[in-house]
């Protein structure tokens, strides 16, 4: 006949095992805390040194350029590259010491979590570099588009530049997310469909609205070698001296008025050229 287990003996064994585990765990916990504190101190020291060195070599100039971008300005948080890099390096060093501390206390789940975060940091750094470079390129192209539109007297240059900036920034952001290991295939497909539809609609609308401006610009290429400032001509019933000839318009000085005509008039109307060019009107 089986004997009935002694409940008191079972409880004593359980308590004894718990005390034994606790006694062995406390020294490991204390050692882990000490390792973590040392890691924080080392990380702070390295952070201070790195930030000082990067600031002296002029890396913060990139941050100053970033702060001039409208998107960054809207965040009301000035970017300082040296401080960002130093802070990322601080967390990286702390995580390395934290990994050693968790391995010491033998908590596998916590160790795996910290190791995963530590491996993610280099990917985040590369993603950050991609975003910074993408922002600078997108802003430069935005300014270039605005400048070209202004030089050709095309209205809506700022809106067109903003669209170029948005397009490049989203592409940069998608690439940065892909660098971190996220699946961006669906996001890329959706964005390309959206961009394609937007560009098609914008091209049709903007082309119809700007057909006269584009006609004047094309006319300037045909007219720049045929007409010159100071020349006396008659066009569309107006006779005068050419005062200015730009990419979209023609300015004539008549006897008592100044007339501005679209440049495409030189291609659509009969033009009479009076020689010599210095002849009085």
Class of domain 226-274: mainly beta
The topology (CATH level 3) of 126-209 is Helix Hairpins (1.10.287)
pLDDT at 94: 93
pLDDT at 212: 57
Q: Are 262 and 217 in contact (CB under 8 A)?
A: no
Residues of the chain with CATH 1.10.287: 126-209
Q: Are 65 and 11 in contact (CB under 8 A)?
A: no
CA distance 223 to 62: 44
pLDDT at 91: 92
| Rg of the Cα atoms in the chain | 36
CA distance 240 to 254: 4
Q: Which of 154, 145, 152, 150 is nearest to 246 (CA)?
A: 152
pLDDT digits (tens, 9 = 90+) for 210-221: 555 555 555 555
Q: Which of 242, 248, 245 is nearest to 272 (CA)?
A: 242
Q: Are 272 and 278 in contact (CB under 8 A)?
A: no
Residues pairing with 261 in the sheet: 250
Give all strands (DSSP E) within 140-192, no chain letters. Answer: none
Structure tokens belonging to residue 6: 């002694």
pLDDT at 38: 94
pLDDT at 89: 92
pLDDT digits (tens, 9 = 90+) for 150-160: 877 777 778 88
pTM of the model: 0.61
Q: Which of 207, 230, 221 is nearest to 156 (CA)?
A: 207
CA distance 124 to 179: 8
CA distance 14 to 76: 59
pLDDT at 277: 46
CA distance 161 to 144: 8
Collapse the DSSP code of 274 into the 3-class scheme (helix H, G, I; strand E, B; otherwise coil) and give the result. strand
pLDDT at 231: 80
What separation in angstroms does the CA of 151 have from each of 11, 225, 234, 280?
A: 90, 19, 27, 32
- For helices 157-179 and 108-151, the axis angle rounded to 10 degrees is 160
Instruction: Determine phi and psi for 74, rounding to 5 degrees.
Output: -65, -20
pLDDT at 278: 45
Instruction: Determine phi and psi for 138, rounding to 5 degrees.
Output: -65, -40
Query: Which residues, given as ranges, of the chain have pLDDT below 50?
Result: 1, 277-281
CA distance 197 to 204: 11
Instruction: Please tell me the number of Cα atoms within 13 Å of 187 on its side-chain side.
Output: 12
Residues of the chain with CATH 2.30.30.60: 226-274
Q: What's the longest Cα–Cα distance across the chain?
A: 137
Collapse the DSSP code of 103 into the 3-class scheme (helix H, G, I; strand E, B; otherwise coil) and give the result. helix
């Amino acid at each position: 006949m089986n004997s009935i287990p002694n409940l008191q003996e079972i409880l004593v064994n359980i308590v004894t095992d718990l005390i034994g585990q606790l006694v062995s765990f406390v020294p490991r916990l204390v050692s882990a805390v000490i390792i973590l504190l040392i890691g924080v101190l080392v990380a702070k020291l390295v952070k201070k040194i790195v930030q000082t060195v990067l600031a002296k070599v002029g890396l913060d100039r990139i941050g100053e350029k970033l702060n001039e971008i409208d998107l960054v300005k809207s965040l009301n948080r000035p970017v300082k590259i040296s401080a960002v890099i130093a802070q990322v390096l601080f967390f990286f060093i702390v995580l390395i010491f934290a990994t050693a501390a968790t391995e010491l206390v033998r908590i596998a789940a916590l160790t795996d979590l910290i190791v995963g975060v530590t491996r993610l940091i280099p990917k985040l750094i590369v993603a950050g570099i991609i975003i910074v470079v993408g922002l600078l390129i997108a802003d430069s192209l935005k300014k270039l588009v605005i400048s070209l539109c202004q030089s050709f007297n095309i209205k809506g240059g700022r809106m067109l530049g903003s669209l170029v900036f948005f397009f490049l920034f989203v592409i940069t952001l998608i690439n940065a997310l892909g660098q971190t290991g996220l699946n961006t295939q669906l996001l890329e497909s959706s964005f390309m469909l959206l961009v394609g539809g937007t560009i098609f609609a914008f091209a049709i609308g903007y082309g119809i609205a700007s057909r006269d401006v584009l006609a004047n610009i094309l006319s300037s290429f045909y007219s720049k070698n045929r007409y010159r400032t100071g020349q006396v001509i008659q066009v569309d019933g107006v006779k005068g001296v050419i005062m200015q000839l730009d990419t979209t318009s023609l300015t004539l000085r008549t006897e008592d008025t100044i007339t501005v005509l679209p440049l495409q008039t030189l291609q659509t109307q009969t033009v009479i050229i009076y020689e010599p060019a210095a002849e009085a009107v």
